[in-house]
Structure 1
Amino acid sequence: MELGIGMFGDVHINEKTGYVQTPQQRMAEIIEEVKLMDEIGLDFFGIGEHHRPDYAVSSPEIILAALSTVTKNIKLGSAVSVISSADPVKLFQDFSSVDNLSNGRAEIMAGRGSFIESFPLFGYDLSEYDALFDEKLRLLLTLNNDEVVNWKGNFKMPLINQTVYPRPVQDKLPIWVAVGGTTSSVIRAGKLGLPIIFAIIGGDPANFIPLFEVYKQAYVDNGHDESKMQIGVHMHSFFGDDNEKVADDYFPIYGAQMNRIGASRGWPKYSRPQFDFGRSTNGHLVVGDKELAIEKILKYKELFGLTRFSAHMDVGAPSHLDMMKSIEIFGKDIAPKVR
């Protein structure tokens, strides 16, 4: 099982003083954090795409290009690229460039995104949300599979005998599909034989078992090699030396971000009992010491048949020092025991 870290590039916000961390500072921190991940042997890093003031990264491929020159082994990918509002040709070119810079370590995680800001920003109709994703994902796969492309769709002019440059170092870029709880998205990934990663960010993870089974059935029914099936989860995580202290220290940071997001979505105020349930045996949070983390990750491996676990570690923007400590615990104490 691959073990790695996903981030959204949250900027630190002090609501009492009004201080908002600059993207410049957060990006510099991310570079240092991923250098540490590479040094201690984590398998992959993913960075999200957002177009909001509380996140520093709008173009994952730019950060990944910078990281490709200061890391040696870690896989570098998006988490996610919002494929519905992207140009698949430019996206493929950008990640192929990262693949060349990193000597074959780039991957794309395609998703519909949990925010909608990119649609008006790039001139797309939100009512065509699913159709855009389906067509653009299929074009991206065509670009990845065929050197000379002939393609026609509904949202882009046809491509006739086009070759996209540069080509990646790898024979093909790994392309994952990230999903929440939408059954149609799960079935599509299975039919296409693509690796899938489930974002489990609330409730009891066991409730996702039917979706995992739907994916596996669609994958097998469409003739794909079961031995090559790749399944991952993306879960909010944070680690410290003391189980209760890390919870007490992290709750105000995590809760503040949940409330910032929830304010625009009509969510009730995030509470400590919610947080504590999330950390419990049947909860979705992997927040605590190494023993808690090892137990939970192995439980999910058994429950879902995972080949990848992604710890989403910067929710609410903990301090850089605390992030470095959490990464170190994950890489040096948790990952070896899980493996």
Structure 2
Amino acid sequence: MQLGIFTIGDVTQDPTTGRTPTENERIKATVAIARKAEEVGMDVFATGQHHNPPFVAPANPPILMAHLAAQTEKIQLGTATTLITTTDPVRIAEDYSYVQHLADGRVDLTLGRGNTGPVYPWFGKDIRQGIPLAVENYQLLYRLWREQSVNYSGRFRTPLQGFTATPRPLDDVPPFVWHGSIRSPEIPEQAAFYGDGFFHNNIFWNKEHTERMVDFYRQRYEYYGHGSYDQAIVGLGGQVFMAKNSQDARRTFRPYFDNAPVYGHGPSLEDFTEQTPLTVGSPQQVIERTLSFREYAGDYQRQLFLVDHAGLPLKTVLEQMDILGEEVIPVLRKEFDAARPAHVPEAPTHESLVARHAAGKDPIPGGGPDSQAAKDRAQQAEAAQRDHENAK
């Protein structure tokens, strides 16, 4: 199990002091948080991508990832998310390969569509085409990382003729891709088709919805022949705030929750913690709640927490990370790993992907010849051929 944190890089006023950090302070705080994540033994730090206030998550995440790669040694650097809809796949292929080299393979990315409507036209796109953009752009990205010379023509960008993305992926193995979605089944379908990971950032959703999304992805992963239902690669989000006892945690966090830019002035803290994965309480309560995710998501590979949003000052965030590193993550890692059956894979790393590639076991998009998907396609082709012959 990979355990870590993600940031959306919001620049939000601290409701208890009235002070708003400067953009420079927030950016430098993000670097401090990432370094702290490695210091306390976390496995992953993931950054968002934004083009609009009140966010300073980088418009091009590899800039931050490269900076962090130079200041860390072990932690996996990821995204939450990379905007596949409004970012040119050529730039994604080249920029993430470049940072993959700088980080010696400690890079992966989570692709997402973005839900800020005004951003799309800034880049000549239409939010109503979000799903087709995600599907077509990833088709191209997938090829750019695996083919030396790409000829391409599609709906959403200029054609390519004999194009080679540089640099090539480290060890000829692209960064692992998670496909992130909170509500659209087309995205877990896409993840399953390619044999990629599915990240359900369930911070705003109840467990029944999360269960449906993960279950659908697992079924389709098996259908395409990439492994059994329980071998599909799943990641989940979450939010936590902790104190020695739940009363202190709720009292401290309540003003931040009530004024948060996304869900503030909406449901009560009590309702939100009951209906979503947000856990505000003692470290033991966070442990028990997080372990319960396995009851409806199955054995999964990555758990990321949001801890630095809603105006929380850096000092408080670093204290939260100390608690996570000292009291929560060691227990979660031990319990999750002990419960995971031997045939269920661990989270992909560059090393495991290199070994898979060397063994000739890379997933075949759409399913190999032994998959149910391939058998269904063969039956459909035979039926079409019979219909054609009967129509003569």
| TM-score under structure 1 length normalisation | 0.90
Instruction: Look up the equivalent residue of 2:213 and give its one-letter code.
Output: L
Q: Distance in 1 between matches of 2:36 and 2:17?
A: 31
The reply to whether residue 7 of structure 1 matches residue 7 of structure 2 is yes
Alignment match, 1:201: 203
SS of residue paired to 1:64: helix
Alignment match, 2:358: none
- CA-based RMSD: 2.1
Specify whether residues 101 and 292 from structure 1 end up closer, same or farther in structure 2 by C-alpha distance, changes over 3 A only. Answer: same
Identity over aligned pairs, percent: 26
Instruction: Look up the equivalent residue of 2:196 and give its one-letter code.
Output: L
The reply to whether residue 61 of structure 1 matches residue 62 of structure 2 is yes
Alignment match, 2:112: 111
Q: CA deviation at 1:249?
A: 1.2
Specify whether residues 17 and 296 from structure 1 end up closer, same or farther in structure 2 by C-alpha distance, changes over 3 A only. Answer: closer
Q: Distance in 1 between matches of 2:322 and 2:147?
A: 41
Alignment match, 1:299: 292
Alignment match, 2:40: 40
Alignment match, 2:349: none
Instruction: Look up the equivalent residue of 2:66 and give its one-letter code.
Output: A
**Contact in 2 for aligned 1:278/1:285 (Cα 8 Å):** yes
Choose between structure 1 and 2: higher strand proportion. Answer: 1
**Contact in 1 for aligned 2:14/2:256 (Cα 8 Å):** no
Q: CA deviation at 1:17?
A: 8.2
**Contact in 2 for aligned 1:150/1:160 (Cα 8 Å):** yes
Q: CA deviation at 1:167?
A: 2.0
The reply to whether residue 163 of structure 1 matches residue 164 of structure 2 is yes
Q: CA deviation at 1:132?
A: 1.1
Alignment match, 2:353: none
Larger radius of gyration: 2
Structure 1 unaligned segments of length 5 or more: list them: 263-267
Which shifted more, 167-176 or 41-50? 167-176
Alignment match, 2:330: 336
Specify whether residues 16 and 74 from structure 1 end up closer, same or farther in structure 2 by C-alpha distance, changes over 3 A only. Answer: closer
SS of residue paired to 1:309: strand
Q: CA deviation at 1:214?
A: 1.0
Which shifted more, 69-78 or 133-142? 133-142
Specify whether residues 204 and 8 from structure 1 end up closer, same or farther in structure 2 by C-alpha distance, changes over 3 A only. Answer: same
Alignment match, 2:379: none
- Deviation string, structure 1 residues 102-147 (Cα, Å, up to 9, x no partner): 1111111100123223212212122222211111111111122223
Q: CA deviation at 1:82?
A: 1.1
Instruction: Look up the equivalent residue of 1:42 and give its one-letter code.
Output: M
Alignment match of 1:269 (pick from 265, 280, 285): 265
Specify whether residues 48 and 68 from structure 1 end up closer, same or farther in structure 2 by C-alpha distance, changes over 3 A only. Answer: same
Instruction: Look up the equivalent residue of 2:123 and give its one-letter code.
Output: F
Which shifted more, 292-301 or 8-17? 8-17
Q: Distance in 2 between matches of 1:311 and 1:89?
A: 30
- Deviation string, structure 1 residues 260-279 (Cα, Å, up to 9, x no partner): 346xxxxx9324xx311333
Q: Distance in 1 between matches of 2:259 and 2:116?
A: 18
Alignment match, 2:226: 224
Alignment match of 1:235 (pick from 238, 246, 267): 238
Alignment match of 2:251 (pick from 248, 251, 267): 248
Structure 2 unaligned segments of length 5 or more: list them: 334-392
SS of residue paired to 1:314: coil
Alignment match, 1:187: 189
Which shifted more, 224-233 or 71-80? 224-233
- Deviation string, structure 1 residues 53-108 (Cα, Å, up to 9, x no partner): 21112332221111111011111111001110110111121111211111111111
**Contact in 2 for aligned 1:187/1:218 (Cα 8 Å):** yes
Specify whether residues 70 and 175 from structure 1 end up closer, same or farther in structure 2 by C-alpha distance, changes over 3 A only. Answer: same
**Contact in 1 for aligned 2:97/2:168 (Cα 8 Å):** yes
- Deviation string, structure 1 residues 155-191 (Cα, Å, up to 9, x no partner): 1222222211112325221111001111222222222
Q: CA deviation at 1:203?
A: 4.4
Alignment match, 2:148: 147
Instruction: Look up the equivalent residue of 2:65 and give its one-letter code.
Output: L
**Contact in 1 for aligned 2:14/2:310 (Cα 8 Å):** no
Aligned residues: 329
